[in-house]
Amino acid sequence: MASQLEIFIRALSRLLGWIYTFCWSASFYPQPIKNCRRRSLIGLAIDFPTVNVLGFICYAIYTSTFLYSPVIRRQYAFRHPLEEEPTVRFNDLAFAAHAVILSLIVYTQFWPIIWGYKVSPHQKISKPIAVLFWGSLVAVATVACIILVQSPDRGYDPASWAWIDVIYTLSYVKLVITVVKYIPQAWVNYKRKSTVGWSIYQILLDLTGGVLSLIQLIIDSSFKSDWSGVTGNPVKFLLSNVTIFFDIIFIVQHYILYKDAVDDDSNDSQEQDSVTPLLSEPDRLSRTAVV
């Protein structure tokens, strides 16, 4: 009976994993499709796709090393002796790789020279986001340097500074980016008193994925009666909660606060008057300097 229950729970966990992977992966399509249909980026904060690219690259490295790196898996086992293996799954890696590609597509849509979409001259990467971008890279490099200098065997002894700390740093970068990346878009919606240009369908799919991801992590850890699966995989646990929190904010903005301003099928005259068909050379150079 116990073995049958174990098989059922493992199957349920995998099923939830693939369902939330599908929901999160599908959530990346409504926005670029909406941009393509409107041929305009008005209403979308450029900060969002900019940090998304970096965040999901970090997450892809994080998941791939926990799945396939013998060094990282051995160091994880040493630091979490009650865990047989990390609670990272292949669907996490599949999601991360797919997210990198779609995030790059949305980011490039801000380049009218490539897509020809309308972009406001005010849609520029903010200084806080630029600081976050470069600061994240410096943080990862700093941890790597500490390991090379302080570790007695250059990062292979898990009892000291080890390479798993670099991977954890990448996961924290992803977590910080997830917390911060929604703020500019929520602020843009607030200033415009509108969610026009921001797809609500991506939020609904994102919310579904976040809830299922959280349920899967709880099932995996509770079944083993060891909650170090949560503490050992903090990025997945906190990522789900942060995602749910901001998704609720966007749903409130779209369906309650600014519901009368929503028009998914056309651009209003103010948007048409405030856009420019091509970026100036300095604007394009400033954006390429960040990513």
Q: How far apart are CA 38 and CA 171, in angstroms?
A: 35
Give the mean pLDDT of 8-19: 85
Give the mean pLDDT of 137-162: 83
Please indicate whether residue 248 or residue 69 has the higher confidence score (pLDDT).
248
Assigned token pair, 83: 């865990």
Please indicate whether residue 170 or residue 274 has the higher confidence score (pLDDT).
170
Most confident of 69-83, 179-193, 227-241: 179-193
Q: How far apart are CA 275 and CA 42, in angstroms?
A: 8
Residue 269 belongs to domain spanning: 2-288
Please indicate whether residue 156 or residue 264 has the higher confidence score (pLDDT).
156
Long-range contacts of 10-14 (CB under 8 A, 24+ apart): 12/219, 13/216, 13/219, 13/220, 13/223, 14/89, 14/91
Q: pTM of the predicted model, to two decimals? A: 0.75
- Evaluate if residue 75 carries a pLDDT over 50: yes
Q: How far apart are CA 277 and CA 68, in angstroms?
A: 46
Question: Lowest-pLDDT range, 92-96, 155-159, 276-280?
Answer: 276-280
pLDDT at 55: 93
The residue written with tokens 């998914």 in the block is 264
Number of domains composing the chain: 1
